[in-house]
Amino acid sequence: MGTNASAVDHQLHHCNISNAVTYDVLSGIIAGQFLLGLPLNLSVLYIFIFRFKFWKNKSVFLFNIVVADFLLVACLPFKAYSYQLGQRRSPKDWMCKAMLFMLFLNRGASVAFLVTLSLDRYFNVVHLGRRNFVMVLKKSPEISGVIWLLLLPLTIPTMVKSFECCNSYGRDDHDITDTFREIVFFSQIVIPFVVILYCTVRIVHRLRKKTVGEKARLRRAMCVVVAVAVLFSVCFLPCAVARAALLFVRLKEWQEAEVVAVQVYDALMVLSFTDCLLDPLVYCFCHSSFKDAYLNAFCPAFLHKRLRKADTATTTITTTTTTSAGRSVSLPMVEKLQV
């Protein structure tokens, strides 16, 4: 009994915060993210279901990102409360495991659907007119359920056993579960980032080579494809780099450096929670109809008119017409890029 209590105390010691001021600030940031994210995502959910009717607009993947964001928003108050208690994790193992499970599931779902959106846009721009597997998948709502089910085997290991601060890799007692969890963490970020970066570069290159259409509309199209890459780079990539640095100094047993690395990692992890605030921007870039529905529902009338007037001034042409072999062909510049 005494040995078990000693082991628990040893585990919780590593979970104590080393700088109260830093974690008070992080707790305040998380509280702000929750206060902004909850009404924002509720309003987005309302638009998707009652105004935009996502199932009719082939936006099932976007709706699933909304669901993933709700998983994240639900975790934020508990994370902020732990920081206020002076702990990097909840003292209760079940709460710690549940939190990490939700965070892993949210991250995996967000990344999976963002990658799917990027691939769909890649095929629609670079391989326009060719039938592709992503186009087939997005027309089937059941595929979204399959993606969620495939994420479970990658997330369940967070629930298998008790682990120090919910990430014990690098300690003397780490095992295959900890190793697998770290592999999943990095693979969920590094591999999708490479795919998204490749798709973005190819799409931007393709759009720059086009000689038809307005420059303003081409710039808008490039914003559509770059938005996902920017969000990914800001929210997910920094915490992966910080996590790698933390594991490196822990394995090297540089204790003073580890104290700093832990704070940097936790701060960048909090930054990654901002994706629940930035995702609605992606929805607006991906589908102009969603933006119009959102503005009609929540934007004041006078401001809505000004925004519509500015948007009309920069995009006065919906299609561009070119002549090929005596035929007139209408080429939509934006509609092809909507998901």
Instruction: Flag whether pLDDT at 31 surpasses 90.
Output: yes
At 263, the amino acid letter reads Q
Instruction: Flag whether pLDDT at 32 surpasses 90.
Output: yes
> Which comes out higher in pLDDT, residue 184 or 211?
184
C-alpha separations of 189 from 119, 186, 224, 233, 238 in Å: 16, 5, 21, 10, 10
Write the pLDDT tens digit of every residue in 103-153.
888 888 888 888 888 887 777 777 766 666 566 566 567 778 888 888 888
What mean pLDDT is reported for the chain? 75
User: What pLDDT does residue 315 have?
Assistant: 47
Residues 298 and 305 sit within 8 Å (Cβ to Cβ): no
C-alpha to C-alpha distance for 10 and 215, rounded to whole angstroms:
61
Q: Which residue in 8, 18, 17, 12 sits closest to 80, CA to CA?
A: 17
Write the pLDDT tens digit of every residue in 158-168.
666 555 565 55
**Domain assignments of the chain as residue spans, ordered by start:** 15-301+328-337
Helices (H) and strands (E) in the chain, counts: 13, 2
User: What pLDDT does residue 238 have?
Assistant: 92
Looking only at the bridges linking them, the beta strands covering 319-324 and 327-332 are antiparallel
pTM, 2 dp: 0.78
91 is written with which tokens? Answer: 């003292």
- Sign of the C-alpha dihedral, residues 217, 221, 227, 233? negative
Residues 338 and 287 sit within 8 Å (Cβ to Cβ): yes
Write the pLDDT tens digit of every residue in 288-325.
788 888 888 877 665 656 555 555 554 444 444 444 44
Decide yes or no: CATH 1.10.3720.10 for domain 15-301+328-337. Answer: no
